[in-house]
Amino acid sequence: GTMLCISTGAKPEAERLRRQCFRVVPRVMTTPVLRQASSIDGAVLVEPDGTCYAIGVILDGQATEKGDSSRGARYNSAVRYTSSSPYPCLAVVVSEDGWIDLLPSALHA
C-alpha cells in the first residue's frame, strides 16, 4: 500500500515534519517518479500542482473518533492528519488489499 497527501501547505509541513520524512528538492512528480517514491514506507507529500516536498513522511495528528482500528496504521494516520491539519488537504490511501480511500481535511469536508 501507499499514501499520497495533497496539501496546500506541503512546503511548510515538510519543514515541520523534517525529522519524520525525507525532504526532497521540490519538483513536479511524474508517474514513474511517483511510483518509485510511493514504494517507500510513509506518505508522499505534494502541493495541489503536483510539486513534491517530501517522501516517506510519518504523518501526525490528534486522535479522533473517526479512526477505525480494523483499518490499520496507514488509514488511521491519514484520518488523524487530515482531521487536524491547519491546511486544506486530501489523503489518498491505497491499502495492501486494494482499497482506495479519499480522506479530505475538515476544511473541505
**Domain locations in the chain?**
2-104
- In whole angstroms, what is the distance from residue 82 CA to residue 67 CA? 11
Q: What CATH number labels 2-104?
A: 3.40.1700.10
Checking if the pLDDT of 109 tops 60, the result is no
What's the chain's average pLDDT?
92
* 30-82 per-position pLDDT tens digit: 999 988 988 899 999 999 999 999 999 999 988 888 888 888 889 999 999 99
Helix ranges, the chain (H):
10-16, 31-37, 73-84
pTM higher than 0.75: yes
